[in-house]
Amino acid sequence: MTNDAAAGAVPSQVPPKKEGIGKYILFATLGCGFLVGLIALVVFLVFKMTGGPVRVVNAQLEALREKEFDKAYGFCSGGFKQNTSLVEFQKFVENYPILKDAKDYSCPKREISGNTAELQGTVNGNDGLAMAAEYRLVKERGEWKVEYIRLSSTGVAVRTNKTDQEGERERQEGEQQQQQASEQPPEEPVGVSTVSPGSALQISEVNVEKQTLTDSVTVNIRFKVTNFANDKSNGTARIHLIQGLKTFDPNGPLVSKLSRDGIKELQESGSQEYTFADFINTLSIPNSYPQGTYRATLIVHDQIGGQSAETSTQFDIP
């Protein structure tokens, strides 16, 4: 009976087969793989497109490693050579021995805009040392040429794969080098000079002239700007100055109608380097405005040199 019951028993229903998530995992895996591959392809194409300037830098380093200064100098642009002689270039290299024994230049950060390439990377020495280096290159007759070089005097790294004692000693030496570098003025980069010789941007010879009219007073403010940058990368001198003005009434508040940033813009190019620029601002102050002593703040931005300067002057109304 037990056997019959067992034979006639209704078998338990087999649980329905659930749709597994395997296919979704497969799709996700394929999607992630495609995305990773696409990113890798984009990175590869970007590095391939920007590889030309890096190859030029490495070719220059190879020439320096072979002590072929003339050949290395040949990788420089016309603007570079105009501002930095071969002798000055050699002196710059002597100040950075790593340039004479560089294995290569690695550059993870690179940007190309038109005929200009900006590179920020590391010069790696054959002795295991490294130094942060910034290069700017320009295209001349279809070839990339070095226009600007800046090396970090505090960017020396200690060698790797050393014993703990050797590593500690070199770490201390590196810190000592950085301390010495911080106590000395930084080495000037070589290449196209974007900052004129002299001190910081200056505003001088401020002169105020007034003319009383029927319903207003006209105020002319003249002044001179010096020590701004000259960009000589294209064989000519170019300047770019933008001037702002803030005017405050006798009670102190800013007069918005007599104030504006970018009120004047001066862009000039010529064969000779510019040493000064004359500006004039004309203000028309209605008779309805408060009487007393006004204060005008003159602001000048040097777009090429990255400097700014300001000064203030006063005038009485009426």
The domain limits of the chain are: 49-191, 202-317
User: Does the pLDDT at position 41 exceed 60?
Assistant: no
User: Does the pLDDT at position 168 exceed 70?
Assistant: no
- Lowest-pLDDT range of 180-189, 210-219, 251-260: 180-189
Q: What is the mean pLDDT of residues 303-308?
A: 83
User: Does the pLDDT at position 301 exceed 70?
Assistant: yes
Closest CA to 266 of 247, 238, 245: 238
User: Does the pLDDT at position 165 exceed 70?
Assistant: no
Tell me which CATH code domain 49-191 carries.
3.10.450
User: Does the pLDDT at position 161 exceed 50?
Assistant: no
Within 8 A by CB and 6+ apart from 42, the residues are: none
CA-to-CA dists, residue 141 to 59, 115, 144, 148, angstroms: 18, 10, 8, 18
Check whether domain 202-317 has CATH 1.10.10.60, yes or no = no
Three-state secondary-structure class, residue 233: coil
Instruction: Output the pLDDT for position 307.
Output: 83
**Which position has the higher pLDDT, 226 or 179?**
226
CA distance 245 to 210: 17
Q: What is the mean pLDDT of residues 47-75?
A: 86
Q: What is the mean pLDDT of residues 120-132?
A: 85
- Lowest-pLDDT range of 113-127, 158-172, 209-223, 276-290: 158-172
User: Does the pLDDT at position 268 exceed 80?
Assistant: yes
Token pair recorded at residue 247: 């005017």
Q: What is the mean pLDDT of residues 7-17?
A: 43
**Which position has the higher pLDDT, 97 or 59?**
59
Instruction: Output the pLDDT for position 155.
Output: 36
User: Does the pLDDT at position 220 exceed 70?
Assistant: yes
CA distance 138 to 75: 11
* Cβ neighbours of 39 (radius 10 Å): 10
Token pair recorded at residue 48: 């391939």
Cβ contact 243:298 at 8 Å: yes
**Cross-strand partners of 146:** 76, 137
User: Does the pLDDT at position 33 exceed 50?
Assistant: yes
Instruction: Output the pLDDT for position 184.
Output: 46
Instruction: Output the pLDDT for position 290.
Output: 92
Instruction: Output the pLDDT for position 25.
Output: 56
Confidence of residue 128 (pLDDT cuts 50, 70, 90): confident
* Cβ neighbours of 139 (radius 10 Å): 16
Residues belonging to the chain:
318
CA distance 102 to 189: 18
Q: What is the mean pLDDT of residues 191-205?
A: 62
